C-alpha cells in the first residue's frame, strides 16, 4: 500500500515545476522583443531558430511573377542537407510533378529540365536538416511569363488520315521563325517500319519532312509537336504540344504525258488504266514534275482572277477536282470541252479528264477521283514548261536527296 504522504510530495513538486514554467513564460510574454524588460522566450528555450528562408533558399523568390523561362529554378541550403524537395507545375488546369535531383552532397536541388514552362504556376516544398538534426521546411510559389506573342504550326496531313505514298509532312507556321534550329529540334517525325526522315525549310515559315523515296504502303507515321514554350523568334513562343499519326495506304502514281494527251494510272506498280487527258494550252502550259494531291473536292468553283488570268473564265461547278499546287494547278473533270481529252491541250495549266456537268462516277474523271487519296503522286512529263517548284504545293519530291537534306537547320 502506497504512503499518502509520498503522493502529496510528488504532487507538490509537479505543481511547483508548473508554476515555475508558467512564471518564465509569463515573464517572456511580458517582455519587449529587445529584452530590455527581462529574458525572452528565445533565451529561455536556447536561442531564436533561423527563419526558414535563411535555412532553405529557393530561387525564384516566393511570390515572383512573370518569371522568364531561362531563369534557373534552384533550392539550396548553406549548411546541413536537403532531405526532400517537391516541385509541382500547374498549367492548363493540370498539375505535373517536376523531376529533379539533389546534388552537391545534399546542399542543392535542380530540375532535370532547366527550362521553365511559360504561363504556369510552380509550387516548391522543401525540407532540410541542419548539423544538429533540426528539420526546417519551406513552401513557396511563383508564376512564369505569359507571353503576348505565340506561334503555331498548321500541319498537313490530318490526324488519323490514310494517305498516298507521296505524302509530305508539311508545317506552315503562323509567324516567321528566326530560331529555326530550336523549332526543328522540337518536332519529331518517325515511321514504323523505320526509315530515315529529314527536314527541309522553305523560307522562315514552312518546314517539310520526307524520306528519300516514297513511303512504303502500310507505314505508320508519327508526328510529335513539342513546340510549347519554344522560342521561335524574340519574344514569340510556341503553343502546341501534341502527337498525331497517319497511315500510308496503297501506292498510286499516275504519269501524265502532256504531248501524248494520256495519263497512265499505276496501282502498286501495276498499270491500272490509261486515261485520255487534256493539259495546258500552248499559251498556258502545265508544269512538269511530281505533284502530290493536296485536297479533293467533289465540286468546286474555278475563277481565273484568283490565279492571275484576269477574267478569262469563271466555272462555278467544276467536278472531281484534285488540287496539286498552291498556285492553282488541279486535275479535274472537264465537261465544257468534251472533245479535248486525248486529242488536244486546251486548259489554263490544269489536267482535265472527261466528265459531265454535275459529275458522274461513270466518267474517266469520276473513275479516277473515286480511286484517289490525298498524298497520291501525279507526275507530268513532256510539257513545254518548267519543273514545278519544290515549295509549290507538296512538290518536294522534285528535289534531290542531298539538296533536301542540306535544307535542315540542325547541322
Average pLDDT over every residue of 137-155: 93
Taking the C-alpha atoms of residue 55 and residue 189, their distance in angstroms, rounded to an integer, is 47
Give the pLDDT score at 101.
Answer: 97
pLDDT at 103 over 80: yes
C-beta neighbour count of 399 within 10 angstroms: 20
pLDDT at 342 over 60: yes
Residue 168 lies in a domain: yes
Sign of CA dihedral 399, 402, 407, 408: positive
Residue 295 lies in a domain: yes
- Same domain flag for 59 and 178: no
Q: Which residue has the cell 506498280?
A: 269
**Range name among 16-25, 136-145, 270-279 with the lowest pLDDT average:** 16-25
Give me the catalytic one of 200, 261, 348, 350.
350
- Same domain flag for 245 and 256: no
* pLDDT over 70 percentage in the chain: 87
Tens digit of each residue's pLDDT (9 = 90 or more) over 251-274: 999 999 999 999 999 999 999 999
Residue 309's pLDDT band, with cuts at 50, 70 and 90, is confident
pLDDT at 247 over 70: yes
Residue 306 lies in a domain: yes
Q: Which of 249, 275, 306 is the last residue of a domain?
A: 249
Give the pLDDT score at 50.
Answer: 66
CB neighbours of 330 closer than 8 A, spacing ≥ 6? 302, 318, 321, 322, 323, 324, 350, 351
Continuous H helices in 41-98? 41-44, 52-55
Average pLDDT over every residue of 240-246: 94
- Same domain flag for 115 and 196: no
Q: What is the CATH number of the domain that holds 239?
A: 2.60.40.3710
Q: What is the CATH number of the domain that holds 272?
A: 2.40.440.10
Q: What is the CATH number of the domain that holds 77?
A: 2.60.40.3780
Please state the domain count of the chain: 3
Give the pLDDT score at 48.
Answer: 53
Q: Which residue has the cell 512564471?
A: 23
**Range name among 44-48, 95-99, 249-253, 255-259 with the lowest pLDDT average:** 44-48
Name beta bridge partners: 125: 86, 139
- Same domain flag for 265 and 379: yes
Average pLDDT over every residue of 104-116: 96
Q: What is the average pLDDT score of the chain?
A: 88
pTM of full prediction above 0.85: no
- Same domain flag for 207 and 228: yes
- Same domain flag for 238 and 347: no
Residue 16 lies in a domain: no
Q: Which of 225, 249, 273 is the last residue of a domain?
A: 249
Domain coverage including residue 222: 149-249
Continuous H helices in 361-407? 364-370, 401-405
Which cell is 46 given?
536556447
Average pLDDT over every residue of 124-129: 95
Average pLDDT over every residue of 22-33: 34
- Same domain flag for 385 and 259: yes
Average pLDDT over every residue of 349-362: 97
Taking the C-alpha atoms of residue 110 and residue 88, their distance in angstroms, rounded to an integer, is 13
Give the pLDDT score at 314.
Answer: 87
Give me the catalytic one of 200, 284, 320, 332.
332
Q: Which of 189, 222, 249 is the last residue of a domain?
A: 249
Give the pLDDT score at 303.
Answer: 85
Known active-site residue 31: no
Taking the C-alpha atoms of residue 298 and residue 201, their distance in angstroms, rounded to an integer, is 32
Amino acid at each position: 500500500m502506497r504512503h499518502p504522504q509520498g503522493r502529496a510530495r510528488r504532487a507538490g513538486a509537479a505543481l511547483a515545476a508548473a508554476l515555475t514554467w508558467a512564471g518564465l513564460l509569463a515573464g517572456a510574454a511580458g517582455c519587449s522583443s529587445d529584452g530590455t524588460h527581462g529574458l525572452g522566450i528565445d533565451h529561455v528555450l536556447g536561442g531564436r531558430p533561423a527563419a526558414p528562408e535563411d535555412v532553405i533558399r529557393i530561387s525564384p523568390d516566393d511570390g515572383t511573377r512573370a518569371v522568364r523561362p531561362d531563369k534557373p529554378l534552384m533550392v539550396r541550403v548553406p549548411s546541413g542537407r536537403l532531405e526532400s524537395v517537391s516541385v509541382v507545375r500547374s498549367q492548363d488546369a493540370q498539375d505535373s510533378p517536376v523531376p529533379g535531383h539533389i546534388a552537391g552532397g545534399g546542399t542543392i536541388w535542380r530540375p532535370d529540365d532547366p527550362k521553365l514552362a511559360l504561363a504556369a504556376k510552380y509550387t516548391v516544398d522543401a525540407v532540410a536538416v541542419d548539423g544538429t538534426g533540426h528539420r526546417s521546411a519551406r513552401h513557396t510559389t511563383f508564376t512564369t511569363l505569359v507571353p503576348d506573342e505565340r506561334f503555331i504550326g498548321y500541319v498537313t496531313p490530318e490526324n488519323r488520315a490514310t494517305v498516298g505514298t507521296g505524302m509530305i509532312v508539311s508545317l506552315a507556321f503562323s509567324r516567321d521563325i528566326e530560331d529555326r534550329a530550336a523549332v526543328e529540334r522540337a518536332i519529331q517525325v518517325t515511321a514504323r517500319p523505320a526509315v530515315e526522315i529529314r527536314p527541309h525549310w522553305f523560307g522562315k515559315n514552312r518546314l517539310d519532312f520526307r524520306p528519300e523515296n516514297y513511303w512504303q504502303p502500310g507505314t505508320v507515321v508519327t508526328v510529335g509537336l513539342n513546340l510549347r514554350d519554344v522560342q521561335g523568334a524574340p519574344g514569340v513562343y510556341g503553343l502546341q504540344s501534341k502527337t498525331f499519326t497517319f497511315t500510308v495506304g496503297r501506292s498510286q502514281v499516275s504519269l501524265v504525258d502532256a504531248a501524248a494527251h494520256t495519263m497512265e494510272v499505276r496501282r502498286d506498280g501495276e498499270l491500272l488504266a490509261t486515261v485520255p487527258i487534256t493539259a495546258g494550252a500552248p499559251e498556258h502550259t502545265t508544269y512538269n514534275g511530281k505533284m502530290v494531291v493536296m485536297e479533293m473536292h467533289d465540286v468546286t468553283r474555278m475563277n481565273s482572277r484568283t490565279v492571275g488570268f484576269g477574267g478569262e473564265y469563271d466555272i462555278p461547278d467544276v467536278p472531281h477536282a484534285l488540287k496539286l499546287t498552291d498556285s492553282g494547278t488541279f486535275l479535274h473533270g472537264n465537261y465544257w470541252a468534251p472533245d479535248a481529252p486525248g486529242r488536244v491541250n486546251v486548259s489554263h495549266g490544269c489536267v482535265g479528264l472527261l466528265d459531265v456537268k454535275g459529275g458522274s462516277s461513270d466518267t474517266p474523271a469520276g473513275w479516277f477521283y473515286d480511286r484517289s487519296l490525298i498524298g497520291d503522286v501525279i507526275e507530268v512529263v513532256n510539257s513545254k514548261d518548267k519543273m514545278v517548284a519544290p515549295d509549290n504545293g507538296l512538290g518536294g519530291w522534285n528535289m534531290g536527296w542531298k539538296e533536301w537534306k542540306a535544307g535542315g537547320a540542325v547541322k
